[in-house]
Amino acid sequence: MSARRVALVTGSSRGLGRAIAERLAADGLAVAVNDRSGRGGPAVDAIRAAGGTAAAFPADVTDPRAVRGLVADVADTLGPIDVLVLNATGEQPPGALADWDRHEDMLGFFLHSPILLGGAVLAGMRERGGGRIVHVDSEVVDKPPLGMSAYVTAKAAQLGLMRSWARELAPDGITVNAVAPGFIPVERHAEVDDEERGRYLASVPAGRFGRPEEVAAAVSFFAAEDAGFITGQRVVVDGGRGLT
């Protein structure tokens, strides 16, 4: 790996992705801030104001051509990608149990997109003798909510991809792990009402909501150069809710 490692964090203009980007920048990595709509400017400005290195790269990570262009642009601007954080997501409204179109939409984000991105960075990682791939998973794989079959199924598929790639890429020095957040109040959760928030909080032994920075800390651990002997693992950041 290069002296100044480069991280691409997908879906990182706000919320969890932005927290992850800011943490990796604080760790000394040059960070590629990605989103689909070109809203990465404020995150980049915050990283630079804190003394870090970052640049914005708008791209649709579900589009094969856009992914190839994204990876090439990051390499030209910051350097080859050493750390890939798969955080991009979309809307997750409830849907019919057997609605294939909805399932396919979710698989596009959580299975197709990681395959496209992973495929685009693997050759370079292998050539340099290693790399880090971190999936941002979800607690729903363990505790499926009602009406969310498409999201849960796609996240479960993503977890299978992570474990399969971890086994196959270990000889190349490339680790593949996952971080599974519980409910973290960020912008995309604004529509959740107080009653639902209260029910969730009552199920968390820690007695509070998680913070984006706590998820980012787990990603930072897996992304570290010292984590080279840890692969195929999943850390659940849920305040102990999975124990109940």
Instruction: Note whether 10 and 17 are within 8 A (CB).
Output: yes
Residue 151 falls in the annotated catalytic set: yes
Cα separations in angstroms, 73 against 16, 22, 114, 142, 205: 23, 20, 18, 37, 44
Longest alpha-carbon distance in the chain: 52
Question: Under DSSP, is residue 55 helix (H, G, I), strand (E, B) or coil?
Answer: strand
Residue with tokens 């959740």: 192
Inter-helix orientation angle 15-26/41-49, to 10°: 30
Backbone angles phi, psi at 140, to 5 degrees: -65, -20
What is the token pair recorded at 81?
Answer: 């990608």
C-beta neighbour count of 200 within 10 angstroms: 15
Q: Please tell me the distance from the alpha carbon of residue 72 to that of residue 170, in angstroms, as a whole number.
A: 24
Give the number of C-alpha atoms closer than 13 A to the C-alpha of residue 147, restricted to the C-beta side. 4
The residue type of 116 is L
Residue of 57, 151, 165, 222 marked catalytic? 151
Count helices and strands in the chain by DSSP H and E runs = 8, 7
Concatenating the DSSP letter of every residue in 82-99 gives: SEEEE----------TT-
Catalytic residues: 151
